[in-house]
Structure 1
Amino acid sequence: MVRFIPGDPITARLTDGGLSPEAQAALRSLYGVDQPLIQQYWSWLTSILHGNLGLSLTTQTPVVDELLVRIPRTFYLALVGILTALAISVPIAITAARYSGGRLDSLLTSASGVLIAVPNFVIGIILIVVFSVQVELFPVAGYVDPSADPAGFALGMVLPALTIGLPASAVIIRVLRSSLLDELRRDYVRTAEARGNSRLRAITRHTLRNASLPTVTIVGLQVGQLLGGALVVETLFSYPGVGLLLLNSITQRDYPTVQACLLFLAFAFVFVNLLTDVLYAALNPKLKVG
């Protein structure tokens, strides 16, 4: 689809129009962008089967080198984001299930509905205005190497993690709360409560593990969405991950880099879902492979 955007890598790099039409045509032939789309795709496909992702049309360096630098940063962001979502959602879901039908339950579920509806870039802008501009507690943007400055890295990750973690937590809250309520209606919970266990103890000791099974699937989908949707958050916070690299490459019509970024995001999404299925089976030994 990016190839249907007006322009090509040659015109995108020309700011002064200094090259003659003949020189531009020679460069297009050198990069192969003058070939039919199906031929370009076939060349790219055969190259990646040999482990070659190509050269960046912008930097003239191997795309894989740039990806190897950016992938850990996006992984850090997704990992911290999903841990933030779990830290927020699990206590809230337990509280909502414990007081189901009450005012607190209604307040918590309504708040989660609002978080689902609000785009993450709006949440990010609000966090920046409040905690970076007004309070000046966290940095606005950028990335700090965790090996060089762990404290600076932690401070810089707070706002991006909340930006992606809050909407993800809202989805997890609703799924986990519903699963907990289903488990609380079962006989073994009534037996546990009849033996003197409180509702909170029954949830944490008896129902939470069983109720977490459907939640695992949702968490896996959320991780995949965080990896794929990191572009917005990375752009908002100038976070140099795969998403920001993808956006810059689209602007510069750097086709090899765009294709490599999308290949990584697709692979990561499939891998996370496969890992989710394996984890689901590990949590529920009753599942058998047919």
Structure 2
Amino acid sequence: MSVAALVLRRLALLLVLLTLVFVVVAVLPGDAARMALDRNASPELLAAKRHELGLDRPLPQRFWHWLTGVLTGDFGTTVRGRPVSDLLAAAAPQTLLLGGLALLLTVVAALGLGMCWAAKPSGWLARILQPSTAMVVALPEFVVAALLITVFSFAIGLLPAVTVAGSSGFPARPDMLVLPVLALALPHIGWNTRVVRGALGDAGRAPHVEQAVLEGVSRRRLLIRHVLPVALPTIVASVATTVGMLFGGALVVESLFNYPGLGALLAGSISDRDTALTAATAAVAGAVIMAILLLSDGVRAWAVRGRR
């Protein structure tokens, strides 16, 4: 498939996602105008607010108006009158911090564990990693988060379960990042550890590697100099896919830990029935994930060409 076809397919999927977001928020019980006003607001004031927010227009017209604005860089305003772009700009750095730390932990842990597993496939560490990585891969982020909170916050009292934002907008203390980062990273560490181990195992059966073994090359040098370069394209493609998955998972984890990022912004927008803010947050997340998946597709294509 050509690059243009891949881009068009990803854009079509993003458009479908935004359409679904708009429709789902619109059919949820509640009224954005009532959320923005006092509960005792008069019917006249409520009708005026609905007209101001464009809620009296058909849903397809509202969606088209919002979409054409996004194409010109205008994400609109929230039901409370704040520019959506300002809220996104304030929340995005926190999500990038959380996702960046989780990605760093994922890459370091997966490479280290996967290489140890490949070096000693019958050792004690391999016997631990075989079931444990399968278990964490099967658990979604919100289940991992709930388990971490139960153990480290409620049972031990070692780490905070709730994030408190400081004056800068970031978490007030570094230890408030530990549980959200772990909840986000652990499933991906499990998956990428298995990918690294499998890629190294496949690369270890290459003819030049077998020749190096016959020549008496040490196990460490064999792994780093001969096996890892062959396995690297597969590992890089897995990590590229993980970046997009981390960004999507961050939206869930942030809501659970009250982390001040895009996830909390998304949860608040749904609570307010704010379709513009909800769709804008989904658009940013979807665009980032789409770009990462395109990068992953490119890495896979490069790896396939490199093996021919």
Whether TM exceeds 0.5 here: the answer is: yes
Q: Which residue of 1 aligns with 2:272?
A: 252
Q: Which residue of 2 aligns with 1:126?
A: 147
Q: Which residue of 2 aligns with 1:67?
A: 88
Q: Which residue of 2 aligns with 1:199?
A: 219
Compared CA separation, residues 268 and 143, structure 1 to 2 (3 A): farther
Letter in 1 for 2:138: A
- Residue 190 in structure 1 maps to residue 213 in structure 2: no
Q: Which residue of 2 aligns with 1:209?
A: 229
User: Higher mean Cα deviation, 32-41 or 205-214?
Assistant: 205-214
Q: Which residue of 2 aligns with 1:164?
A: 184
Partner Cα separation in structure 2 for residue 43 and residue 230 of structure 1: 29
Q: 1:205: how far off?
A: 2.1
Aligned equivalent of 1:110, options 131, 151, 155: 131
Q: 1:274: how far off?
A: 3.2
Compared CA separation, residues 53 and 147, structure 1 to 2 (3 A): closer
- Residue 29 in structure 1 maps to residue 51 in structure 2: yes
Which sections of structure 2, spanning at least 5 residues, go unmatched?
A: 1-23
Aligned equivalent of 2:114, options 80, 93, 100: 93
Q: Which residue of 1 aligns with 2:34?
A: 11
Q: Which residue of 1 aligns with 2:75?
A: 53
Compared CA separation, residues 162 and 196, structure 1 to 2 (3 A): same
Letter in 2 for 1:183: A
Aligned equivalent of 1:178, options 195, 198, 216: 198
Compared CA separation, residues 146 and 200, structure 1 to 2 (3 A): farther
Q: 1:145: how far off?
A: 5.7
Q: 1:45: how far off?
A: 1.5
Partner Cα separation in structure 1 for residue 93 and residue 176 of structure 2: 15
- TM norm structure 2: 0.83
Match of 2:142, SS?
helix
Partner Cα separation in structure 2 for residue 108 and residue 130 of structure 1: 21
Q: Which residue of 1 aligns with 2:250?
A: 230
Match of 1:229, SS?
helix
The Cα offsets for residues 196-221 of structure 1, whole Å up to 9 and x where unpaired, read as 22333311222112212112222122
CA contact (8 A) 2:36 2:79 kept: no
Q: Percent identity?
A: 35
CA contact (8 A) 2:98 2:180 kept: yes
Q: Which residue of 2 aligns with 1:241?
A: 261
Aligned residues: 285
